[in-house]
Amino acid sequence: MQVRVRFAPSPTGYLHVGGARTALFNWLYARKTGGKFILRIEDTDLERSTAQAVETILDGLRWLGLDWDEGPFYQTANLELHRQKAEEMVASGHAYRCFCSKELLEERRKAFEARKLPYKYEGTCRGLSSQEVVARLAAGHPYVIRFAVPRDEGAVSWTDLVYGEQSKQHVDIEDFVMVRADSSPLYILSNAVDDALQGVTHVIRGQDGIPNTPKQILIYKALGYKVPEFAHLPLILDPSRAKLSKRLHGDVVMVKFYQERGFLPDALANFLLLLGWSPGDDREFFSREEMIEAFSFEGINRSNSIFNFRKGDERNFTDPKAIWMNAEYISKMPLDRLLPFVIAEFKQKGLWRSEYESERSEWFAKTIDLLRARYRTLSDFTSLGRPYFEDDFDYEPASVSKNLKDTSLVTLLPGLADKLEKLQDFSAEAVEAVLRTYASQCGVKAGLLINAARTALTGQSVGPGMFDVFATIGQRRSVERLRRAVRLVVGQSA
Ligand code: GLU
């Protein structure tokens, strides 16, 4: 039997981290078993589904590298078929037409509520004779189609691949509506029929699908379809146990946000993998191949996953673990795999120069390699990294007041610049030798010059080894920046 799994998003919004995790787990299972990963757009909510939402979902999946083998199929294309299946169930006695009016049902529900009892449709129309049904149809009475849940002591049971034995008594299941009075099928029907017709063998979806499962199993059985396996995934909650929502948490729940904030798709996928799944040992980093190899339903946790989003600053905008993971990828992945992402970031920010493609390409790659150890997102390369590539950059006030407060720097910085200007070979070692000699000649600590130079050259207080910074920024620009910084020395007027 070939495994067939599907991701079935409703295109009513954006692709959120929960949906992306569901897609990832489906994809992993398909890839692991040599099966097929199907993409089905559940667009039956016509009022809320938009073409733009579909695009965002496809975009997000592509960006995450979750390639699908079949689809996208659109659920609305099959509505007629779903209706037919309901008719088939009416014909075989597994469903019936219900003529009870909305008003009547509403009245009954209220009466139950008044007595604090849950209302469940009592099956009034279940016993209508075929003559009565024909007469009402002929008179044009509107009707819905309801499933006739067996009236016995039995139960619907399944072994969930994550949550284990599940069961619901028939008496606890209402004769649920499958087709509305306007003849549109309900989601519960469309979803099950599509799964059956698309040959889905494993339904891997969020835990919020559990209440639908017994009804869907009844539908499968009534139509003579093989019941698929079910694997429900734990919820994703914030630290205060609220469900992640755009309304509550903002953009941080959207995949697109990570794309825009400079995440690497592999890092986000790795983070999502660990959101509800664990390998059973302490491994944290998984290449795609390793994920595929390690993934199993047994590793999925039953307890809810906590997503520790943050409403922090530019650099702390989401779960610290996600940021840490991205930083690890940035600093450790093979440079040649990182570069295309960095180049795209430069292009997007308008900082890409044609010279990086030719004579400076090696310099560009080396500079990225030097910077990446400290960076967390791709955006850091164009924000924090800006001084390495552009002459106009900001000096952080804290860096200026810390490193440029000694007034003797007014003469020391140009003095150092003069010495460095004379260097033939502007290597890190040569710069270091010049700086240290100059410091001892002037009777100051080398550290004073090193720190001041860092602020002068980059506007920042932290960064790679300072002599590497000199060599990277280059002789002409380093000399210029040392001279230019004199006006910044604390107390100097510009
Ligand atoms: N369209 C449903 C959703 O987005 C899919 C549920 C399922 O996978 O069965 O929640």
| Residues 320-349, mean pLDDT to the nearest whole number | 97
The answer on pLDDT for 175 being more than 90 is yes
Confidence of residue 317 (pLDDT cuts 50, 70, 90): confident
**pLDDT for 29-73, tens place per residue?**
999 999 999 999 999 988 899 999 999 999 999 999 999 999 999
Confidence of residue 13 (pLDDT cuts 50, 70, 90): confident
pLDDT > 90: what percent of the chain?
Answer: 93
Separation of alpha carbons 203 and 229, rounded Å: 6
Report residue 23 as tokens.
Answer: 């897609």
CATH H-level superfamily of 78-188: Glutamyl-tRNA Synthetase; Domain 3 (3.90.800.10)
Phi/psi at 336 (5° precision): -70, -20
**pLDDT for 72-84, tens place per residue?**
999 999 999 999 9
Residue 19 CA: nearest ligand 1 atom is 4
Q: Which residue has the higher pLDDT, 247 or 366?
A: 366
Containing H/E element for 237?
Answer: strand 236-237
Closest CA to 422 of 476, 482, 363: 476
Which CATH topology does 397-493 take? Answer: Arc Repressor Mutant, subunit A (1.10.10)
* Domain covering 4-68+236-306 assigned CATH 3.90.79.10 in the classification: no
Q: What is the mean pLDDT of the chain?
A: 96
Q: Are 66 and 255 in contact (CB under 8 A)?
A: no
What distances in angstroms separate CA 468 from CA 367, 427, 429, 465, one per listed residue? 9, 8, 9, 5
Separation of alpha carbons 49 and 9, rounded Å: 11
The pLDDT score that the predictor gives to residue 389 is: 97
| Residues 356-374, mean pLDDT to the nearest whole number | 95
**Which strands, in side-by-side order, build the sheet including 229-233?**
70-74, 36-41, 4-7, 202-206, 229-233
Distance 305 CA to ligand 1 centre (A): 19
Q: Residue 39 carries which side chain, given as an amino acid letter?
A: L
Compute the CA torsion angle 177, 121, 107, 144 (nearest 10 deg): 30
Q: What are the domain boundaries of the chain?
A: 4-68+236-306, 78-188, 334-379, 397-493
What distances in angstroms separate CA 234 from CA 214, 278, 284, one per listed residue? 18, 13, 19
The pLDDT score that the predictor gives to residue 41 is: 97
Determine the distance from the C-alpha atom of residue 489 to the mean position of all C-alpha atoms in its chain, rounded to a whole number.
46
Residues constituting the chain: 494
Q: ω into residue 228 within 30 of 0, thus cis?
A: no
The pLDDT score that the predictor gives to residue 493 is: 58
Q: Which residue has the higher pLDDT, 493 or 25?
A: 25
**Cβ < 6 A, ligand 1 pocket:** 8-10, 42, 191, 205, 209
Burial of 359 (0-12, 13-18, 19+ CB in 10 A): exposed
| Residues 241-258, mean pLDDT to the nearest whole number | 92
- The packing angle between helices 466-473 and 446-458, to 10°, is 40
Specify which residues 164 forms β-bridges with. 160
Residue 235 CB partners (closer than 8 Å, separation 6+): 18, 206, 207, 208, 243, 304, 305
Confidence of residue 203 (pLDDT cuts 50, 70, 90): very high
**pLDDT for 219-229, tens place per residue?**
999 999 999 99
| Residues 76-96, mean pLDDT to the nearest whole number | 97
Between 36-45, 91-100, 310-319, 472-481, the lowest mean confidence (pLDDT) is in 310-319
Q: Are 193 and 187 in contact (CB under 8 A)?
A: no
Does the fold of domain 397-493 match that of domain 78-188?
no
Of residues 226, 246, 405, 445, which has the active-site annotation?
Answer: 246
The pLDDT score that the predictor gives to residue 46 is: 87
Token pair 């044009």: residue: 140
Distance 205 CA to ligand 1 centre (A): 7
Residue 243 CB partners (closer than 8 Å, separation 6+): 235, 236, 237
Q: Are 314 and 257 in contact (CB under 8 A)?
A: no
Confidence of residue 316 (pLDDT cuts 50, 70, 90): confident
**pLDDT for 278-302, tens place per residue?**
999 999 999 999 999 999 999 999 9
Burial of 295 (0-12, 13-18, 19+ CB in 10 A): buried
User: Which residue out of 38, 74, 191, 201 has the highest number of ligand 1 atoms within 8 Å of its CB and is therefore the one to mutate?
Assistant: 191
The answer on pLDDT for 491 being more than 90 is no
Distance 469 CA to ligand 1 centre (A): 52
Report residue 140 as tokens.
Answer: 């044009």
The answer on pLDDT for 494 being more than 60 is no
